[in-house]
Amino acid sequence: MIEIKETKIEILMQNIEDLKESCKNNDIITENKLPENQLLNLKNLLSVNDLEKFYDKIRKPTYLTNLNYDEFIEIFDLLKLLYSNIKDIKDEIDIKIFLKDGYKLDLPKLKKKFNDKKLSKEFPNFNITRLAELYKSPPKTIKTYYDDTLEILIDPFEYRKYLLGLIQMIFNHMDLLICCVGGEGTGKSTKVSQYILMVYWTLKEIGIIEYEYDIKEMFFNTLYKFREAEDKYFTVPFRIFALDEGNELNRQDWKDDEVKTFFQRLRRERHNRRIKFISLPVLGELITNIILSRMNFITDMKNKNEVQTGTLYKGEYDLYIIPRGDKIYSPYHKKEITQTEIKSKLYINLKDKEYLKGIPKEILIKKCKANGVWGFKESEYITVLKDSNKTFSVTKGINFGYTELFMFYKARVTLKKLLIKKNDIRYASMSKMINKVSRLFYENPDLMLKYEAIYQKKKEDKEERNNE
């Protein structure tokens, strides 16, 4: 049964009436009048026959009492189309507002800064004009390198913020640190792959980089491999590195050598001009000081229920930005939020496991949407995971894969089984080793489920072979 409250329809009717009157009087926004071309678009939209017919229908008292499901779907489809068209108009208006009052790049001034800093020797192919074009008109999509028919969606607001970050990297020797958070299956890895493509494409487009687009040199699943790549490209600016599922960064392992090296480099090496992406279940796994002093963008991936199919809908995410300046405009809250407010809210959130409740909405910058297209071949992602399983570093020179560690865990090795007693000199070291392996899987249930499935599959395959 469909319940429709008359008050809601009445409000809708009144809003449509007010909007139509506003269009006639050309006074939709008295303080900030809409551009004439957008005002004309809005007038045309509100005068379409379907909308006029719908408006006439809902004014009749009997319409609600006789409403059936098919008619309800017609309303749904019409308002959905109306929203889509009005949103397009709003986006165009937002772009014009966004580029006003200091948001428009001053190209002559930027060129002067480039020359004054004598950056032409470092970046001889830098195309500042193209940079300004991209800032004014961001691409709506970017095609993947592996398939011309596939493309990733680009949010114009977010894209401009990334461009500003790249400008600061070029002119002010900054780096970029981005964290993508969310539960298992929310699409973190896919989104990070899109960010890699977006940043790489942009850097190529403006003539800053020349290196090849090779995810094996950008996308890593262990700190050990991540650090190796950092060492390999230590002197190469604008390298893109991504740590997928950074489980090794959990708070219990902050004293681990690899983890300490990772955080030390984040603190000290901003002049290397690197772009680093970190994928984590929750933001609080990172050191608070690192988040507050080094983090630039935080992407919080979301899953939503799809009622019709009972499945999960992926692709929506909340965008948070910690500005380098004193404030940033939030389209979500329709106001500017200060850097101090953002850092204060985050500091409180990161204390005492408050972060487990999620990032505070008071500092949300924008809600965005993404599609499910990978920035590189998904098969390459799977290959990277398989390769990384071979390099889980226990100590320098000794590497175990997750599969090997899980088999050790499944063997239920105990000191009692090994006949090692408390007075044995091996007791402390062996106890530490067993506990570390157990903790790895206890604290990462998704990892445990993944390798439990692999274990069961291997077991079934072996049983089938034995029965042949």
Query: What are 439's two structure tokens?
Result: 């903790």
Query: What are 73's two structure tokens?
Result: 């779907």
Q: How far apart are CA 224 and CA 232, in angstroms?
A: 12
Please give the C-alpha separations between residue 63 and each of 4, 54, 55, 170, in angstroms, as whole numbers: 11, 10, 11, 62
Q: How far apart are CA 430 and CA 308, in angstroms?
A: 53
pLDDT of residue 388: 52
Name the residue among 119, 121, 120, 208 with its Cα closest to residue 163.
208
The DSSP code sequence of 174-212 is --EEEEEE--TTSSHHHHHHHHHHHHHHHHHHTT---S-
Indicate the helix (H) or strand (E) that contains 369: strand 366-369
Name the residue among 233, 102, 114 with its Cα closest to residue 170.
114
User: Are residues 362 and 377 in contact, defined by beta-carbon separation less than 8 angstroms?
Assistant: no
Residue appearing with tokens 């499910």? 372
Residue 161 neighbours by CB under 8 Å, 6+ apart: 297, 321
pLDDT of residue 44: 67
Which amino acid belongs to residue 141?
A: T
Q: How far apart are CA 40 and CA 34, in angstroms?
A: 10
Q: How far apart are CA 107 and CA 102, in angstroms?
A: 12
Please give the C-alpha separations between residue 338 and each of 121, 333, 343, 351, in angstroms, as whole numbers: 37, 13, 9, 21
pTM recorded for the entire structure: 0.65
pLDDT of residue 397: 47
User: Are residues 304 and 316 in contact, defined by beta-carbon separation less than 8 angstroms?
Assistant: yes
pLDDT by residue for the chain (468 residues), tens only, comes to 444 444 455 555 555 555 555 444 443 333 456 666 666 666 666 666 666 777 777 777 777 777 788 878 877 877 777 777 777 667 666 555 544 444 567 888 889 999 998 999 899 999 999 999 999 889 999 999 999 999 999 999 999 999 999 999 998 888 899 999 988 778 899 999 999 999 999 999 999 999 999 998 999 888 878 888 888 888 888 999 998 876 666 655 666 677 777 777 777 766 678 999 999 888 887 888 888 888 899 999 987 655 555 555 678 999 999 998 888 989 999 888 999 999 999 999 888 777 778 899 999 999 999 998 999 988 887 776 555 554 444 444 455 667 778 888 888 888 888 898 888 888 888 888 888 888 888 777 777 887 887 788 778 777 777 776
